[in-house]
Structure 1
Amino acid sequence: MWFKNIQVFRFTKPFDMDENALHDQLAEQAFTPCGSQDVSRTGWVRPIPGNEKHGQDGLFLHSSNGFQMLAAKRQDKVLPAAVVNEQVQEKVDDIEAEQGRKVGRKERQEIKDEMIFSLLPRAFVRSRIQHGYLDNKRQMLVVNSASAKGGEEFCEGLRAAVGSLPVIPLTTMDTPAQVMTSWLLSGNAPEGFELGTECELRDPSDEGGVIRCKNQLLTADEIRNHIQAGMYVSKIELVSKSGISCLVDDKFTIKRIRYGDMIQDKADEVYTSDATERFDVDFSIMTLELAELINGLLAAFGGENTGGLGE
């Protein structure tokens, strides 16, 4: 449940839907498995996996301290391209041999569509669950995704459920690449953080190179020389005072989050064998730690860019 990568969105208008109303909206679009001819299906599931009890843990959202966890499930039919193409080619070969004519591009596509239709009921099914939570106090939506596409898909699903979701990706006042580059040139980490041991340098030219540094002293002369030669920092590892390490990129995506021993010990102090209670403890600690991390990173990049909010 601990988020490893996050996409953060800001509500441009207050989102204050009643918890019961939000639950009912999600329940109306509960996940149902793919039918025989469905290519994919999406819907909402209970955020606490494998728990079907009545009460809070049976709801389509889990609330704690002003945070609300949601879970979206996507199921896709998997048809290997090689299998489809082989079946299509066999059909094309049969037609050309029996009718003595060449199969054109349009007819080949029609054959392919028919083949996919016939194979779908026997296709493998791949499922994944994506979590996200609403931070009602800060009016943010945090999605556990390493890609902008994954974050947008979660938003689209939530928008379809509630009717309107006025959110935009969280952005900073200062340009992340410039700020991160300045840290390594000066050798100074932002307040509240230490430099980690990983970064990525890019050449700004169209065909520029990329240098990835791991387990390196980021203030070393070799790295500074590359920057002075014109490269910029596109990713950097930071470690917060609370012990969270993460990789921040030039799109302000926060990736590869690792929670330090102090945070894990805090969660382990509360022993419980109940899945719902365990989830609630982890969720409460994680959301507070991530809220602090996001606030610290925003400050490091000059604050939040609030231009256009509320318009």
Structure 2
Amino acid sequence: MWFRNARVFRFTKPFDISAEALEEKLQADAFKPCGPQETNRQGWVPPLGKHGDQLVHSANGYHLIALRKEEKILPGPVVKEAVEERAEAIELEQGRKVRRKEKDELKEQVMLEMLPQAFSRNRRCFAYLAPQDGVLVVDAGSAKQAEDLASTLRKSLGSLPVRPPAVEQSPAFTLTGWLNESIDHPANITLGSECELKDPSEDGGVVRCKGLDLKADEIRNHLEAGMQVTKLALTWDDNVSFVLDEELGIRRLKFGETLQEQLDDVDVDDALAKFDAAFTIMTLELSRLIPGLLEALGGEDRSAIVEE
């Protein structure tokens, strides 16, 4: 159970919920498959998959949940071809032109007829609530996907006082300073070999660099021309590597050998126990990484947070 991404939401006021209360709330919105005429559906599923039936898996006060989305897949070219065939048949039979509005109605009719035989695409998005750390962490590659899960959770709970964390200075400013060496980065952060540079002007370009020496003259020239770092590969404490973006999104998380060895040292063959051990190791490491990263980026702006 290793997250591949981490989109962090900060609780804006004290928030706590037991595993039992969370389970009860989520049960009301548990996943149900699409009906014959439905194009998509979503709901909560057991994060342990076939190894469990509870919608909440808790360890050390961290509550793991999973949102499943089902979408019916109707290939666009197939739908378009069927609509054109019906439109041509109408034109030949009635001797008139089929207009756009009528074609749109034909498209809806075709899709409704095809839906019962359509393939389904299912996706699961994991997240965990850490009330003691004041965060919700979502394994999502995009801000939209993370916000969708947070919105769905808010609906299930009735209230979810979270927002993305804010820092005292622009993340792009700090990342740029680390790369051009105008700002010292903490000793436990190592710069990687991947970055994205963006010209801040309205029609500015983007330069993506991968597998390069980020201290090379080519990169330095772009920085001196005023480009800013909007993504940067980093390694934290020699344990976790990732790509950080200007929205504080943590992507392509990779947990290092030290953490893998900790998991290997857990002498169990049971899949559930192994899952639980991996979840515990991951959450403990992220509980160090998240506040440490926010501090490294200039410190968290907590002015909108209601303290206990």
TM tier, shorter chain? over 0.9
RMSD of aligned residue pairs (Cα, Å):
1.4
Residue deviations 1:71-118 (CA, integer Å, cap 9, x gap): 111111001111111111101000001000011111111111111111
Q: SS where residue 289 of structure 1 aligns?
A: helix
Cα distance in 1 for residues equivalent to 2:278 and 2:113: 45
- Deviation per residue, 1:95-153 (Å, 9 max, x gap): 00100001111111111111111111011000011100001111110000010111011
3-state SS, counterpart of residue 195 of structure 1:
strand
Deviation at 1:206, TM superposition (A): 2.4
Q: Which residue of 1 aligns with 2:61?
A: 66
Q: In the TM superposition, what is the alpha-carbon distance from 1:3 to its structure 2 partner?
A: 0.6
The offset of 1:22, in angstroms, is 1.1
5+ residue gaps, structure 1, are 53-57
Matched residues in 2 for 1:146 and 1:159: separation?
A: 20
Equivalent residue runs for 1:265-304 within 5 Å:
265-304=261-300
User: Contact 1:183–1:190 at 8 Å: present in 2 too?
Assistant: no
| Residue-by-residue CA offset, 1:178-232 (whole Å, 9 max, x unaligned) | 1111111117433421111111111122222222111222222321121011111
Specify which of 253, 260, 273 is matched with residue 256 of structure 2. 260
1:122 matched to 2:117: yes
Alignment partner, residue 108 of structure 2: 113
Q: Which amino acid aligns with 1:8?
A: V
Q: Secondary structure at the match of 1:50?
A: helix
Q: Distance in 2 between matches of 1:190 and 1:200?
A: 21
Normalised by the length of structure 2, the TM-score is 0.96
Unpaired segments ≥5 residues, structure 2: none
Opposite residue 92 of structure 1, the aligned amino acid is A
Checking the alignment, whether the CA contact within 8 Å between 1:74 and 1:128 is kept in structure 2 is yes
For the pair 1:246 / 2:242, whether they are aligned, the reply is yes
Corresponding residue for 1:39?
Answer: 39
Mapped partners of 1:112, 1:33: distance in 2: 24
Once the two structures are superposed, residues 38-74 of structure 1 have per-residue CA deviations (whole angstroms, 9 ceiling, x without a partner) of 111111111112114xxxxx32111111111001111
Once the two structures are TM-superposed, the CA of residue 36 in structure 1 deviates from its matched residue by: 0.6
CA distance in 2, matches of 1:112, 1:277: 50
1:200 matched to 2:196? The reply is yes
The answer on 1:185 being equivalent to 2:177 is no
Does residue 86 in structure 1 map to residue 81 in structure 2? Answer: yes
Question: Which residue does 2:8 correspond to in 1?
Answer: 8
CA distance in 1, matches of 2:262, 2:19: 28
Q: Residue type of the partner of 1:132?
A: A
Secondary structure (helix, strand or coil) at the match of 2:51 reads: coil
Q: Give percent identity, aligned residues only.
A: 46
Q: Name the residue aligned to 1:17.
A: 17
Separation of aligned partners in 1, 2:186 and 2:169: 13
